[in-house]
Structure 1
Amino acid sequence: MTETPIHDRVSATPFPEASGRSKGYEKRAVDAFLAQAREAFEADAEGVLRSSEIRAAAFPLVRGGYAVAAVDAALGRVEDAFAAREREFALSRLGARAWVAETRDTAQVVLDRLGRPRGERFDRVGLLRYGYRVDEVDVVADRVAGYLAAGHPVTPEQVRAVAFRMQRGGYREAQVDAVLDAVVEVMLAVG
């Protein structure tokens, strides 16, 4: 299987600038990260930079920075490229049966979490603190559970783009984010 070079998957920087008074990602930080990603990908070595690290990348917001949506879309493509490589390495190291079993186990852990009753799927923050809106998270959780259990259509881009409003006593952000990251990993693992 021939792999498309990462520089063909990501439009060359610079990205468009954030418009008007909107803030965007700091250009130097984005450029440096993408240069590091390109170098790691071209090194063709396992584990130098992982898809999960790309998904977790964060950049300062500044006036005159790169448009957030354009950078996020490019990062999604870079993550996909790294995930495909990780899948190939894992298949060659573990074999298809072990790789599928590992991915199935991760999917089952996520599905067990999402199978809990609405309003009880994640820990809650205290009543005086803000967390993710419970009703919004539960809607996304239902869609993801439908994907994992029955193959309902959901894409990694849709999961990556999820954003929740905040509410007092809401779901603990770190738990929700960890489950969504695991969902993206499962999606990318099955290709």
Structure 2
Amino acid sequence: MSENTPGSSPADRPTRAINGLDTSTGSQQAPAHDAPAAQTAGRVKAARDAGRRFSRVSEEQWGYDPAEVDDFLDRVDAVLLTTSGDLRSAPGVSSRQVRERVFDRVQGGYDSAPVDARLDELEDQLADRERDAFIHEHGPQRWEEHLELLGQTLLGRLNRPHGERFRQPSQRKQLGYSVADVDVLCDRLTEHFRSDEDLDPSLVRKAVFRQAQGQRCYEEQQVDAFLDRAVELILALR
């Protein structure tokens, strides 16, 4: 979501699921015609001043580029502060794009942990807005159909045997995620989907896998894509 770290990946109730997914759910005043834009800009600045004072690492350490972080979060804040609710008018700031956002690293930059925590919060808020917008436009029945299809796709892969859930890298010596580590997470997801317990998306977001080679590893890109869809379902079913 926020950085590419070798060997790691980004994880209502997705719980009633495996045998039948339950998807219920003192400056110059701006001109009058610019007032809405000016108000939004003011709210974005207020949100940043009030809630985005991220600590920095030391000058010898590497952290997220502050300019990139501030610019991206300004755009997300602007979307969340609008009253239209039409997220399609703000490309680049969907919940998925927040989850997949990568920042450059610079010396003395922002500490990654609080930035990642804020991105998780924003992803949750955007996912809620996107769900509401979808239901408003297409109706609850279409939403349930969407969730059922997504759930079936995920459960189909989770039900595969250990060691066969994902592809192996095409190159024999290419590094990938440890099969054992990924299968442990998949087993935990399966248990949660079968139970009536709430599933915390941090189980997937904070998952870390060791690196391996050959038959002991899964292709990273395919695992990451699956985990993105898992987070999408978890947030949608809340």
Q: TM-score, normalised by structure 1?
A: 0.89
Unaligned ranges ≥5, structure 1 = none
Q: Which amino acid aligns with 2:200?
A: T
Q: What residue in structure 1 maps to residue 125 of structure 2? A: 81
Distance 1:150 1:104, change over 3 A: farther
How far does the alpha carbon of each residue in 1:134-160 deviate from its partner, in whole angstroms, 9 at most, with x for none? 100000111112222334443112211
Q: What residue in structure 2 maps to residue 45 of structure 1? A: 86
Between 1:177-186 and 1:96-105, the stretch displaced more is: 96-105
Alignment of 1:19-168 (within 5 A): 21-43=60-82, 44-47=85-88, 48=90, 49-125=93-169, 126-168=171-213
Q: Which amino acid aligns with 2:105?
A: L
Q: CA deviation at 1:41?
A: 2.2
Between 1:79-88 and 1:147-156, the stretch displaced more is: 147-156
How far does the alpha carbon of each residue in 1:98-127 deviate from its partner, in whole angstroms, 9 at most, with x for none? 212211210111010111111110000132
How far does the alpha carbon of each residue in 1:29-75 deviate from its partner, in whole angstroms, 9 at most, with x for none? 10010001111222332222210000001101222111111000000
Q: Secondary structure at the match of 2:176?
A: strand
Larger radius of gyration: 2
Cα pair 2:86 2:133 within 8 Å, conserved: no
Q: Which has the higher contact order (CA 8 A, sep 6+)?
A: 2
Q: Distance in 2 between matches of 1:109 and 1:37?
A: 29
Q: Distance in 2 between matches of 1:80 and 1:90?
A: 15
Cα pair 1:143 1:154 within 8 Å, conserved: no
What is the aligned residue count?
187
Between 1:151-160 and 1:28-37, the stretch displaced more is: 151-160
Cα pair 1:146 1:152 within 8 Å, conserved: no
Q: Secondary structure at the match of 2:106?
A: strand
Q: Distance in 2 between matches of 1:54 and 1:10?
A: 21
Unaligned ranges ≥5, structure 2 = 1-42
Between 1:71-80 and 1:9-18, the stretch displaced more is: 9-18
Superposition CA RMSD, Å: 2.2
How far does the alpha carbon of each residue in 1:139-189 deviate from its partner, in whole angstroms, 9 at most, with x for none? 011111222233444311221111212111211111111111101111111
